[in-house]
Chains A and B, each alone.
Chain A
Amino acid sequence: MNKFRLTRWLISLPPILFLLIFFAAPSLIMVITSFRFPGEYGGLAPLVAPETDTMAGDSSLYGLTLEAYRFFFSDILYAEIFLKSFAVAATSTLICLIMAYPVAMLIAQSAKKYRNLMILLVVLPFASNFLIRIYAWMIILGPESAFSHFINNMLQFFGFEPVMMLFSSFAVLVGTVYVHLPFMILPLYTNLEKHDPVLLDAAQDLGANRWQRFWRVTWPQSLPGVFSGSALVFIPVLGMFAIPDILGGTGDILIGNLIKDQFLGTRDWPFGSALSIMLMLVVLCVTGLFTLLARPRAPK
């Protein structure tokens, strides 16, 4: 028994150490960074004023401060970007859910021998590079593409103004939905595949029509799959920066872009860290909510 326990510890030790060194420690560094002052030329100001440094300016730039957080709450702009990111993430999740559910159902109801092939097709896009796929969308949505011409010709035919699809919120949504759709299909399929088909027979036998069978039997049983799929789409979309960078317009900045800018552009590390921590808190809240919702519902 003791030997068994030792083996278990030995096996779990490397991943635990890995997470401690490369996740827990950096997170702690980030928390501390968010309470420090930025350095004059990027990076961080020292924690303690160097005594010998006569060139030092304002002494209040040393030590710990809430400045980054004060800055975040002082301007409504940042709350707006958070809200907008939330809206984009929520919309993408909803679209993914609506598109993924029928696909997952189709796969789950197919003959067993075809299911693995269909799953392979769902994950096939991952075989090519993420950025390449996003740039491909840039071409598809670009003004000179056949797709754009077709859409705009149709719009003009019905008397509407032609539109520019690229560099818009629409393009960002297309990109996020496209990239994250498999993350919704897979958990949904895993859930739906486990449903006992005799329950649908029973529901039908007891008087439920097609619609009622879906809403009363299939849907409630699939909620754990819906919530884990939603978490897998919502959380990455909330923090994403590449897709809005490439497909979005100037007004389509999300939290991810804002954070990236603090580190690579404005070089304000404390503010970037503070934004990251705010994002992390939001994600934790959302995850907690999903976990709560994913539990089987208690009786009334």
Chain B
Amino acid sequence: MALLELRNVIRRFGDFTAVNNVSLSIEAGEFFTLLGPSGCGKTTLLRMMAGFDVPDSGQILLDGQDIANTPPEKRPIHTVFQSYALFPHMTVANNVAFPLKMAGVASAEIEKRVEKALEEVQLSRFAHRFPHELSGGQKQRVAFARGLINRPRLLLMDEPLGALDAKLREDMQRELINLQKEVGITFVFVTHSQDEALALSQRIAVMNLGQIEQIGEPSVIYGHPTNRFIADFIGKINLIAARITQVSDKTMTLEINQLGTTTLPLKQDIKSGDQGVIAIRPEQVAVHALAKQVEIPHAYTGKVLDFLYVGDVTTYVIELDSGIRIEALLANSSPGRARFFEVNDPVIVSWPQEAIQFLLDQP
């Protein structure tokens, strides 16, 4: 049985449906992420898991028990808030002790467990400091220690790394993964940052307009997005209009806008005449100098329109002769990397067949 199961959960605010018929199940010990643009309903869903909001219909089952109407203080589920929500009038130790005090744990026991919890997050030295005397990363760790101290069944996190700077965020991501492995508590993480979702999660649910678009492992979500929204939302991707011209037992033939035809293995539910796009990740695109004149299948000539150098990689925008623009991401350290391309350099662009994803236009 899943630890937490949502069945057909609907939540409306007036005319606006924030969460529209969401069903999902989260297994014990998982690091599960709700990913989506702002306003997609992920925070509303999290608030319903915590108990701050009640679904208009549907069930929220914890270990098979419907908790949809149980108030937050009675759920074995804790939340780490985006602003950390540390109590400003309590020391770090008292903040961490708070859930134990509420649970009526004996004070000697509280002292022991707080000490241990602070050790786990390397904050023993700061036990008697007040929150305003801590840095952002330290506050973050106090919030985690407080959320985890009385071993909830589920720890919910609402964009907890949003307020940290990039470098610290990466450190905290690593710490968070280790912390989750150590304590073995199920984490549900809400974010709008696809990088964060891909880096942290064991499974991701991509949400849009109150619905779940796809649930899967990060590599599946990134490598095999099931629709155009996900392909576009997760990472950068080249989308070129395409149409199915022929379908056989095992293959489908596509006519790509201005780029000729290609044949791919057949996907489910595809029929002749379907309109859609082909999606190719920029890092799958190979760029060669025109002078090389190698014979490459599915290669197109074009010229460099623009590029963005960010140190480890460079993103080139290439305009093909047909007028279609392609983004290509090239690592600057790869051995075959002979030179940079400059603006207006003539180039040959190609990609492997297996890099092509055909995605149907959404009705």
Interface residues of A (CB under 8 A from B): 196, 198-199, 201-209, 212, 216-217, 220-221, 296-297, 299
Name A198's contact: one of B77, B85, B101, B147 (CB within 8 Å).
B85
- Can you name 24 A-B residue pairings with CB atoms under 8 Å? A196-B85, A198-B83, A201-B52, A201-B79, A201-B85, A202-B87, A203-B98, A204-B52, A204-B71, A204-B73, A205-B51, A205-B73, A205-B79, A206-B99, A206-B102, A206-B146, A206-B147, A208-B102, A209-B73, A216-B87, A299-B91, A299-B93, A299-B128, A299-B130
- The count of chain B contact residues (Cβ–Cβ below 8 Å) is 27
- Please indicate the chain B residues that have their CB under 8 angstroms from the CB of A204 in the complex: 52, 71-73
Name A207's contact: one of B73, B83, B89 (CB within 8 Å).
B73
Q: How far is the CB of A278 from chain B (nearest CB, A)?
A: 36
Q: How far is the CB of A224 from chain B (nearest CB, A)?
A: 10
Name the residue on A nearest B150 (C-beta): A207
Name the residue on B nearest A207 (C-beta): B102
Q: Identify 17 new A-B residue pairs, CB closer than 8 A, beyond the known A202-B79, A204-B73, A206-B147.
A: A196-B83, A198-B81, A199-B85, A201-B81, A205-B51, A205-B52, A205-B79, A206-B73, A207-B73, A207-B102, A208-B73, A208-B102, A216-B98, A221-B88, A296-B130, A297-B89, A299-B128
Q: Report the bound CA distance from A221 to B79 in whole Å.
A: 22
Name the residue on B nearest A201 (C-beta): B52
Q: How far is the CB of B78 from chain A (nearest CB, A)?
A: 6
Name B72's contact: one of A196, A205, A216, A220 (CB within 8 Å).
A205
- Please indicate the chain A residues that have their CB under 8 angstroms from the CB of B88 in the complex: 199, 221
Indicate whether B103 reaches chain A with its CB closer than 8 angstroms. Answer: yes
Q: Report the bound CA distance from A220 to B87 in whole Å.
A: 10
Indicate whether B50 reaches chain A with its CB closer than 8 angstroms. Answer: yes
- Please indicate the chain B residues that have their CB under 8 angstroms from the CB of A202 in the complex: 79, 81, 85, 87
Within 8 A of A (CB), among B88-121: 88-89, 91, 93, 98-99, 101-103
Name the residue on B nearest A200 (C-beta): B85
Q: How far is the CB of B132 from chain A (nearest CB, A)?
A: 10
- Please indicate the chain B residues that have their CB under 8 angstroms from the CB of A201 in the complex: 52, 72, 79, 81, 85
Q: Report the bound CA distance from A297 to B77 in whole Å.
A: 31
List 9 tightest A-B contacts by C-beta distance, closest first: A207-B102, A202-B85, A206-B99, A299-B128, A299-B91, A198-B85, A205-B79, A220-B89, A204-B72
Name the residue on A nearest B147 (C-beta): A206
Q: How far is the CB of B307 from chain A (nearest CB, A)?
A: 44
Contact (Cβ within 8 A) A296 B89: yes
Q: How far is the CB of A295 from chain B (nearest CB, A)?
A: 12
Q: Report the bound CA distance from A132 to B7 in whole Å.
A: 67
Name the residue on B nearest A198 (C-beta): B85
- Please indicate the chain B residues that have their CB under 8 angstroms from the CB of A217 in the complex: 87
- Please indicate the chain A residues that have their CB under 8 angstroms from the CB of B71 in the complex: 204
Contact (Cβ within 8 A) A207 B99: yes
- Please indicate the chain B residues that have their CB under 8 angstroms from the CB of A198 in the complex: 81, 83, 85
Name the residue on A nearest B91 (C-beta): A299
Contact (Cβ within 8 A) A207 B103: yes
- Please indicate the chain B residues that have their CB under 8 angstroms from the CB of A209 in the complex: 73
Q: How far is the CB of B149 from chain A (nearest CB, A)?
A: 9
Contact (Cβ within 8 A) A199 B87: yes
- Please indicate the chain B residues that have their CB under 8 angstroms from the CB of A205 in the complex: 50-52, 72-73, 77-79
Name the residue on B nearest A195 (C-beta): B88
- Please indicate the chain A residues that have their CB under 8 angstroms from the CB of B51 in the complex: 205
Q: Report the bound CA distance from A206 to B87 in whole Å.
A: 12
- Please indicate the chain B residues that have their CB under 8 angstroms from the CB of A216 in the complex: 87, 98, 101
Name the residue on B nearest A219 (C-beta): B89
One digit per residue, 1 when the CB lies within 8 angstroms of any chain A CB and 0 when it does not, for chain B 200-223 equals 000000000000000000000000
Q: Report the bound CA distance from A209 to B104 in whole Å.
A: 12
Q: Report the bound CA distance from A252 to B147 in whole Å.
A: 56
